[in-house]
Amino acid sequence: MVYLLAGLLILAIVLGAVTWLTFTLVGFLLTLAVAGLVGWAADAVVPGRLPGGWLGAVLAGIIGGFIGTLLLGHVGPTIFGVNIIPAFIGAAAIAVVAELGFGSRSSSGLRRRW
């Protein structure tokens, strides 16, 4: 009887930990996806490309979200922990800084990206 209760207790702890880890991991991945979409949208607004491709867009979305939220506060809708409006403004600012700092963007802004 004691072994059965101990087994059920261990099973409950393991299942609780796996459930917590799954939801935390899924939440983290969804936050990265939203940050990537925000970075991609900011990259689409500013002519040229962010260095690093999709990874650069995700980083621009995450860092832009952090900087934008610090400067603007919690404005607008929040999706999976990402404040959309401040993140977009911050990611666009990072895209402009990347243009000025790295010069990797096209000067005409007319280049098509496929």
Whether 107 is in a domain gets the answer no
Whether 86 is in a domain gets the answer yes
Whether 109 is in a domain gets the answer no
Whether 90 is in a domain gets the answer yes
- Residue 104, CA distances (Å) to 52, 56, 89, 100, 111 in order: 10, 12, 20, 9, 12
Question: pTM, whole model, 2 decimals?
Answer: 0.65
Number of domains, the chain: 1
Give the residue numbers spanning the domain of 59: 24-102
Give the pLDDT of residue 19.
65
Model confidence pLDDT, tens digit, residues 28-79:
888 888 888 888 898 888 877 777 778 888 888 888 888 888 888 888 888 8
Whether 114 is in a domain gets the answer no
